[in-house]
Amino acid sequence: MNRRRHAITTVTVVCALTVLASPVLTLQAAAAPAPPAPSQPKKTLEEVRKEIDGLYRQAAAATDAYNLAEEKADEQSDEIVKLARMIVAGNEKIDDLKARAGAAARAQYRNGGLPDGAQFVLTDDPQLFLDTAGRLKEGQKATRDLLGEMTRTQGELTTYAKDASVNWTKLEANRVKQAKAKKEINDKIAAAKKLESDLAAEERERLLRLEQQEQYRAQTAWVGTGVLKGLSDATTPEGKRAVEFATAQIGKPYVWGAEGPRSYDCSGLTQSAWGSAGRPIPRTSQEQWRLLPHVDIKDMRPGDLIVYFKDASHIGMYVGNGAIVHAPRPGRNVTITGAGSMEILGVVRP
């Protein structure tokens, strides 16, 4: 993740030497105006384009961090709920075991406070002696089983409580990460929008043309390497369904953290598309790059995912004929563009 830029405030201290100076000279020095600060050269439109692009890329990296923290927080929330249910069930089981132990104690009380063993030793009836011996053995086993089960259940409850505490700590840590990433995203997007809004209408139009020209230049250079020669547009039924879903979202706006159906970020689009084809994949572009099988570009087919930039901060779906469908950035809609219009990191296949 890119480091934030901090403004540096320069403080200038002016010292007046007064030794051997006349009052007139002192007044003249005090009245002298400070030299004007050197004016900053105006940035070219291409420099502005690169700065805006850099800010949006930083926002994309922070979006990945936000999405991952959100996914982990959801997992921990689900685990806490699961553990809470197990604790409730365990407490109910303990109550039942205690009730059964209490029933045994009450039965002994009704027998005059003598345990079954003492009663069976004192009997004069041989048949009763034999019957009682069998029941005593069964009762002793049942008591041991009851106590053992209660001990195990109490141990499980202790483990569940510890696990819930650990997951709660993780949940809070991921909420902090989410909040930090959210602020960074909003800051970067706000800075990029301000740069663009400070331009005149004509300059904004030229900026868009510069952006398109850069994408065309990169795509032309990529195709010129012969990378598409021999590449087939055939794909699997699942890949076809994923492409159909993704292309059906064209025109919907990019919104960071969005997974549809009205808006998407880049990895939200690819995850939703492959989810519609029955293939769950990780939430973020970085996790999709890390966990999905890598394939060579020469073996690429529609439905495969192309990951962009060294930090894997952007991703799109290959749709064939050298093109991808993707959710570009804030202020843009889901669209088709050249697969080589950005710096390619690699290709993965769900």
Please name which of 292, 330, 332, 331 lies closest in space to residue 317, comparing C-alpha atoms: 292
State how far the Cα of 254 lies from the Cα of 238, in Å rounded to an integer. 25
Tell me, yes or no, if 294 is annotated catalytic. Answer: no
Tell me, yes or no, if 266 is annotated catalytic. Answer: yes
pLDDT higher than 90, residue 160? no
Write the pLDDT tens digit of every residue in 51-81. Answer: 888 888 888 888 888 888 888 878 877 878 8
Write the pLDDT tens digit of every residue in 235-293. Answer: 999 999 999 999 999 999 999 999 999 999 999 999 999 999 999 999 999 999 999 99
Q: At 257, which amino acid appears?
A: G
Report which DSSP code applies to 344. Answer: E
Tell me, yes or no, if 314 is annotated catalytic. Answer: yes
Q: Is the Cβ–Cβ distance between 264 and 309 less than 8 Å? A: no
pLDDT higher than 90, residue 30? no
Give the pLDDT of residue 40.
57
Catalytic choice (6, 15, 294, 314): 314
Mean pLDDT taken over the chain: 79
pLDDT > 90: percent of the chain: 37
Give the pLDDT of residue 48.
84
Catalytic choice (6, 15, 294, 326): 326
Write the pLDDT tens digit of every residue in 182-223. Answer: 888 888 888 888 888 888 888 888 888 888 899 999 999 999
Give the pLDDT of residue 140.
62
Residue 45 CB partners (closer than 8 Å, separation 6+): 199, 203, 206, 207, 210
